[in-house]
């Protein structure tokens, strides 16, 4: 999938050809380029950026200087590329687009993780990802110290309010869970609760792995944790109203997970540049 995405990204950028490089850069000119962090952050996407350069020109010499997941300071050298100047300049923007976007996701995830490190709560991503980028953005969340939620609709049943309306009574819900666990035992089950009454009902069901506490107040979250108790196998996930100002308070209620859509739908790109030096 990554190679398909790279080819698509290069095609939309290059089109019929890089006219700037073709007309203003001598064909035989060699160059050295350094990818440099302009701001502090967590790096993700280096392998993808490297693949972009090789897709444009397999003869480029690319040296990756840090690892994904590394915390870097402004001025940190991330990658060195040596070879034809035209090739480097043609690949530059696409490589940076991937690297800046994914490093931005990793950096934001790391901010959230740092704010809850005094608790046992884990920061989760969501399915609110850039179409086509899901695997890449979810890896970036891991590079930032977060945890992946379900990858798609196929690896966890997440029963939300609309599903519950369609399903009807609690007995029918229990029967649906039973059938799923029997036919697809590897699939986990998560139920969304809008109030504490639903939490009470869901805790009585067999086969429930997670309860999503949707848009609940801190007091309601604490009550849900008390209702669940210390030894109940069901994990509690808080969602809604989560931002950098509220996440610590939510974590302190005792929930196990906090899902943050902003990790992937609102992460600002990390400022990374390419310093270019002609050779010879």
* Residues marked as catalytic: 93, 128, 160, 192, 214
**Distances from the Cα of 70 to the Cα of 37, 76, 142, 214, 230, angstroms:** 12, 11, 12, 33, 35
Q: Which residues are CB-neighbours of 52 under 8 A, at least 6 positions away?
A: 6, 9, 10, 91, 94, 95, 98
**Dist. CA 114–CA 110, nearest whole Å:** 6
Cα-Cα-Cα-Cα torsion 88, 58, 80, 107, nearest 10 degrees, comes to 90
Cβ atoms of 37 and 74 within 8 Å: the answer is: yes
What b/e readout covers 43-64, taking b as 16+ CB neighbours within 10 angstroms? bbbbebbbbbbebbbeebebee
């Amino acid at each position: 999938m990554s190679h398909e995405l790279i080819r698509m990204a290069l095609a939309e950028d290059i089109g019929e050809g890089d006219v700037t490089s073709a007309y203003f850069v001598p064909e035989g000119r060699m160059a050295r380029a350094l990818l440099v962090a302009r701001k502090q952050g967590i790096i993700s996407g280096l392998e993808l950026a490297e693949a972009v350069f090789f897709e444009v020109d397999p003869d480029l010499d690319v040296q990756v200087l840090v690892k994904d997941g590394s915390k870097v300071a402004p001025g940190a050298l991330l990658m060195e590329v040596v070879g034809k100047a035209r090739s480097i300049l043609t690949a530059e923007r696409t490589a940076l687009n991937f690297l800046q976007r994914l490093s931005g996701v990793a950096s934001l995830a790391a901010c959230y993780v740092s704010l809850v490190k005094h608790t046992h709560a884990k920061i989760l991503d969501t399915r609110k990802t850039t179409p086509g980028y899901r695997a890449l953005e979810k890896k970036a969340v891991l590079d930032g110290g977060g945890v992946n939620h379900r990858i798609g609709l196929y690896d966890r049943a997440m029963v939300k309010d609309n599903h519950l309306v369609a399903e009807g009574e609690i007995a029918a819900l229990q029967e649906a869970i039973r059938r799923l666990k029997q036919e697809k035992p590897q699939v986990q089950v998560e139920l969304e609760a809008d109030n504490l009454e639903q939490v009470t009902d869901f805790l009585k069901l067999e086969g429930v792995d997670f309860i999503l506490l949707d848009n609940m107040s801190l007091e309601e979250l604490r009550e849900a944790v008390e209702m669940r108790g210390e030894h109940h196998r069901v994990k509690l996930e808080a969602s809604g109203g989560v931002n950098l100002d509220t996440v610590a308070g939510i974590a302190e209620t005792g929930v196990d997970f906090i899902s943050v859509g902003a990790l992937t739908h609102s992460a600002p790109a990390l400022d990374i540049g390419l310093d270019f030096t002609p050779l010879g």
